[in-house]
Structure 1
């Protein structure tokens, strides 16, 4: 069986909002993203419960059903780092929007392709839109952290079809994420 990824998910970790205090009066937060055996982390932002990371982390996606797990930690110098909450990033709605068979090139900039509402099944703090913007499909979202008293993380998803990737084409189509689906009848 081929072990090629479907593609690359770029996660833009923008900022944390009202994160929990884990030191005396503040925290030193950083984020860890996990997808299967892949584990990536942001830099630490010292003394800030509203940190701005503005970092892009890229993960290789092999299965559309695998969520990306996000965990926020407080960096401690002399003891183990404290967990400040976590959230699962459900990438399925985003990937399904990319496979809708729409000629995205004909859409106006900023056009919403799909909207995802908060539910018990996701960690969204508010409705999230999947947009066609500047030749790319992106999804901005604010995730409410679980297992903590407060805190949210703002991120953006973007798909990259890298060299050697299978892509997201459905059977019977020659679709790429930026082209319409054409059935071969």
Structure 2
């Protein structure tokens, strides 16, 4: 882990208007991948508007790698059904962390990222300074599915002894 820059805590808040994959509902969970890392939330039974409120933590060695998110419907006797996917870039977030800001007024906007064809954002995503930390809230529109969004929050965790985000 000599290349470790730090840790990225991804707070998987909730899903909104997810696709129905069973008779009347779905049993959704989220898988987050970056490189060889794979993290998974718990399954929320019979809910197309699930609230996970779970923190998943990735080790970041290369901020150029995209983070891939996929939502699945848990099935008991067959393979789980895919309920959409999304991808997001952490480079703007890492750049904001590299600024080493401090003592800003709470809720100061550092950077705004607008939805585009190149990202899965459903709405503008702000990287903000709050409670002494750089955080980014994002709403991702799921692709390859008829509908659905997932709300996340990113937060950086410095690791003592890591390479850090120095220039």
**Which TM-score band applies after superposition, normalised by the shorter structure?**
over 0.9
The secondary structure found in structure 1 opposite 2:79 is: coil
TM-score (norm 1): 0.87
Offset at residue 4 of structure 1 (A): 2.8
2:80 aligned with 1:87: no
Q: Unaligned 5+ residue runs, structure 1?
A: 171-185
Partner residue, 2:66: 67
In the alignment, the residues of structure 1 paired with residue 53 and residue 44 of structure 2 have an alpha-carbon distance, to the nearest angstrom, of 11
In the alignment, the residues of structure 2 paired with residue 165 and residue 126 of structure 1 have an alpha-carbon distance, to the nearest angstrom, of 34
When the two structures are aligned, how many residues end up with a matched partner?
167
Partner residue, 2:102: 104
Larger radius of gyration: 1
More moved, 160-169 vs 57-66:
160-169
In the alignment, the residues of structure 1 paired with residue 156 and residue 38 of structure 2 have an alpha-carbon distance, to the nearest angstrom, of 18
In the alignment, the residues of structure 1 paired with residue 4 and residue 42 of structure 2 have an alpha-carbon distance, to the nearest angstrom, of 26
Alpha carbons 1:84, 1:148 under 8 Å: kept? yes
Offset at residue 164 of structure 1 (A): 3.3
TM-score (norm 2): 0.97
Partner residue, 1:145: 142
Alpha carbons 1:29, 1:48 under 8 Å: kept? yes
Partner residue, 1:77: 76
Offset at residue 118 of structure 1 (A): 0.3
| Structure 1 residue runs of 4 or more that deviate by more than 6 Å after TM superposition | none
Q: Among residues 96, 103, 125, which one is paired with 1:128 in the alignment?
A: 125
Alpha carbons 1:110, 1:131 under 8 Å: kept? yes
Offset at residue 3 of structure 1 (A): 3.6
Alpha carbons 2:6, 2:159 under 8 Å: kept? yes
Cα RMSD after superposing both structures: 1.1
Partner residue, 1:164: 161
Q: Unaligned 5+ residue runs, structure 2?
A: none
In the alignment, the residues of structure 2 paired with residue 100 and residue 128 of structure 1 have an alpha-carbon distance, to the nearest angstrom, of 18
